[in-house]
Amino acid sequence: MLQIDHISKSFPAGRGQRTMVLDDIVLNVDEGQSVGLVGESGSGKSTIIRCALGLAQPDSGRVSYSGIDVHRASRFDTLRFRRDVQLVFQDPYASLNPRMTVEELVGEGLLVHKLETTAAGRRARVVEMLRMVGLGEEALARYPRSFSGGQRQRIAIARAVVIRPKLLICDEPVSALDVSVQAQVINLLQDMQAQLGLGILFVAHDLAVVRHLCTTVAVLERGRIVEHGSREQVFDAPQHPYTKALLEAVPIPDPAIGRARRTERQLAT
Amino acid sequence: MGVDTILTDGIIPAPVRRRPEALLQVEQLSIDIATRDANVRLVDNVSFGIGRGERVALVGESGSGKSVTAQALMRLNSRVKLSGRVNFDGKDLLSLSPSQMAAMRGQRMGMVFQDPMSSLDPLMTIGDQVAETLRIRGISKRNARQRALDVLDELKVERAAERLDSFPHEFSGGMRQRVVLAMALVGEPDLLIADEPTTALDVRVQERVLDLLDEISRRRSLAVLLITHDMGIVAGFADRVMVMYSGRIVEENEATLLFAEPQHPYTRGLLEAVPRADVTVDRLRSIPGAPPVPAARPSGCTFHPRCDRAMAICSSVEPGEAITPSGARVRCHLYGAG
Ligand SMILES: Nc1ncnc2c1ncn2[C@@H]1O[C@H](COP(=O)(O)OP(=O)(O)OP(=O)(O)O)[C@@H](O)[C@H]1O
Ligand code: SF4
Ligand SMILES: [Mg+2]
């Protein structure tokens, strides 16, 4: 469905030099598939998303969605792309317009894409959607500021999913949330995927969350995908030293494992 | 449910277990802040001790009161009202004068925060900043510089001698955090309070910083109060763990026991809500709802609206402290007189 096909991108770095930020990235998301892209800060995750959305132009390679070249699409195709591909961002505070009610926020896509032309029809769809994400009808007239971080992220998901997209691109959607609330949002994304057959491209630095949510995983190191495979391959039998190093450094909530690893490291040095 | 428990009075808090070599002893500490309309209790009646050289984690979700507690121990926030007792090596910190307290901070207690830049002066060299607490104590420039160099070496800052004269912006995030640690450790304190010291760092850098902290705390018998929301970090670092929820410590135990046999429904919920990088599970167990804000704290047990084991008593009566057979100090009616 989404094909990121050998894209590279560099930025000027002064004195006629250029730094390579993306180097020959290949990544596909098929219908109903959940793909995780993990990398440390500065590894190029956000640049990949920007290229995938057509917001940044790669130097070479191409991004296509169901056969449409994202960077050379006709107006008609662009509209379709904007409906089929939705986004959920990290910061549930910045991504929702504070002056819009929940009804307006969640219903906006229905209006823009002319999917529900009557106010009553839109309201019914919005209410149905709010139920799906665990919010009640009483949320309709309220503004984002009266919701907690987790609730705002549910609203953001409702807003993205209400128009029945085929692909949801999530940029660190749970990293700003508390542990107990993070689990709710992760479960919600899982349910949405199962119920609606959504494809998900999940970009995050948290390996544990990616393992939990994604069946295919790519590991990004300084603009290059160094490992790419099924969840089990990448997490249980990593091949690349970088993946191994990352996995060894992720804290595991089990004191026996944490201590054994530290002793091992201390012996190694 | 017939749990064997050592019951304690539900109203008067149980006496805090004194460890043989208690360094810090906090008793019934409450922290209030006066807002325009009302007095809001941010931290409610917490008691705990830290032994010499002991590594204790204070874990909890955002807004639970971890940072406010840490700042209270150091008396860093003058806008809040503190009550209770904070005893540090025989001295009652809450009755010290500001200048006596400042001396404690420089010499006996050190603190690091999540964002290293907030503690660093961009216009001052690394060497001068690390040496500063020693200079204030009247140590000569030469000696202070030498000790700054030693502590940077101890923190494995490469080419430390050359870097004494560089500025914070020339350092990476992980290196800056080491410099901030050096500032806190140069005075050879007995207690280090580290508030989310690695939250802003990538996992590999985080691991490195925690390893260094582990090594130094063992070598120096330095007690550490590590504040974090990450159960993985807690598991790898702490001897003992305190779980904070909405301004109260709801469970405390040795780390291995707390992870093996969590007693409080909130602790259990937290542990089941964390995804793991080493095993695949079908579904996470989530805790419904969200943590309350201090101004709208629920009555009785503050966790009751989210608790799947809540009973009638939970919404009206605040649970007292009980000690379970596993050694947990826990505040929950499941372990009370019921
Ligand atoms: N100066 C202040 N005025 C009013 N309320 C405050 C002040 N400082 C902190 N609080 C409130 O006290 C409560 C506890 O805050 P605290 O910063 O200790 O939480 P925390 O556990 O450290 O959270 P985090 O994990 O987000 O760092 C919060 O509800 C916070 O909004
Ligand atoms: S006191 Fe009641 S509501 Fe609170 S944690 Fe225990 S069982 Fe749950
Ligand atoms: Mg804090």
- Atom of ligand 2 at shortest range from CA of B308: 8
pLDDT of residue B5: 40
Cα-only R_g, chain A: 20
CB contact under 8 A, A178 and B291: yes
pTM of the full predicted structure?
Answer: 0.89
In a shared domain, residues A260 and A217: no
What's the domain range around A175? Answer: 2-95+167-237
Please work out whether the CB of residue B250 comes within 6 Å of at least one atom of ligand 2. no
The span from the CA of B79 to the CA of B279, in Å, is 45
Q: Which residues contact A144 (CB under 8 A, 6 or more apart)?
A: A93, A96, A97, A98, A100, A102, A105, A152, A155
Residue type, A32: G
The span from the CA of B275 to the CA of A183, in Å, is 8
> Could you give the number of structural domains in chain A?
2
**Which of B62, B271, B275 shows the shortest C-beta gap to A208?**
B275
Residue A171 lies in a domain: yes
Residue A111 lies in a domain: no
**Which helix or strand (DSSP H or E) is residue A117 part of?**
none
The span from the CA of B171 to the CA of B184, in Å, is 18
3-state SS assignment for residue A206: coil
In a shared domain, residues A256 and A197: no
For residue B71, report the distance from its CA to the centre of ligand 3, in Å.
Answer: 10
CB contact under 8 A, B275 and A212: yes
In a shared domain, residues A173 and A209: yes
Report in angstroms the alpha-carbon separations of A221 from A21, A22, A25, A27, A37.
10, 10, 11, 14, 11
Among A133, A155, A178, A192, the residue to mutate for chain B (most B Cβ within 10 A): A178
Is this complex's ipTM strictly greater than 0.90? no
In a shared domain, residues A229 and A209: yes
In a shared domain, residues A171 and A244: no
Give the pair of three-digit tokens for residue B44. 């409610």
For residue B315, report the distance from its CA to the centre of ligand 2, in Å.
Answer: 9
Residue A75 lies in a domain: yes
Residue A197 lies in a domain: yes
Residues A53, A87 contacting (CB under 8 angstroms): yes
CB contact under 8 A, B285 and A183: yes
Residue A133 lies in a domain: no
For residue B63, report the distance from its CA to the centre of ligand 1, in Å.
Answer: 5
In which residue ranges of chain A is pLDDT below 70? none
pLDDT of residue B6: 42
- The DSSP bridge pattern shows strands B248-254 and B329-331 to be antiparallel
In a shared domain, residues A85 and A173: yes
Q: Which residues make beta-bridge pairs with A88?
A: A170
pLDDT of residue B11: 40
3-state SS assignment for residue A5: strand
pLDDT of residue B245: 97
Residue type, A225: I
B68 alpha-carbon distance from chain centroid: 10
Q: What is the pLDDT along chain B (338 residues), one digit of tens a residue?
A: 333 344 444 344 444 444 447 999 999 999 999 988 889 999 999 999 999 999 999 999 988 999 999 999 999 988 999 999 999 999 999 999 999 999 999 889 999 988 888 889 999 999 999 999 899 888 999 999 999 999 999 999 999 999 999 999 999 888 999 999 999 999 999 999 999 999 888 999 999 999 999 999 999 999 999 999 999 999 999 999 999 999 999 999 999 999 999 999 999 999 999 999 999 989 999 899 888 989 899 999 999 999 999 999 999 999 999 999 999 999 999 997 54
CB contacts, 8 Å: A259 with chain B: 236
| Phi-psi category of residue A61: left, alpha or beta, with phi > 0 → left and psi -120 to 50 → alpha | left
In a shared domain, residues A266 and A203: no
Residue with the smallest CA separation from ligand 2 atom 6 is B332
In a shared domain, residues A230 and A242: no
Residues B235, B255 contacting (CB under 8 angstroms): yes
In a shared domain, residues A74 and A88: yes
CATH code at position A82: 3.40.50.300
Residue A118 lies in a domain: no
Tell which residue, B142, B173, B143, B147, has the closest CA to residue B160.
Answer: B147
Please work out whether the CB of residue B33 comes within 6 Å of at least one atom of ligand 1. yes
In a shared domain, residues A250 and A211: no
**Which of B235, B283, B290 shows the shortest C-beta gap to A253?**
B235
In a shared domain, residues A88 and A9: yes
Question: For residues B130, B131, B132 and B133, what is the CA-based torsion angle, rounded to 10 degrees?
Answer: 90
A99 alpha-carbon distance from chain centroid: 25
Tell which residue, A76, A73, A40, A71, has the closest CA to residue A53.
Answer: A71
Please work out whether the CB of residue B60 comes within 6 Å of at least one atom of ligand 1. yes
Residue A22 lies in a domain: yes
- The DSSP bridge pattern shows strands A216-221 and A34-39 to be parallel
Residue A125 lies in a domain: no
Please report the DSSP string for B111-128 in residue order: EE-S-GGGGS-TTS-HHH
In a shared domain, residues A172 and A252: no
Residues A229, A211 contacting (CB under 8 angstroms): no
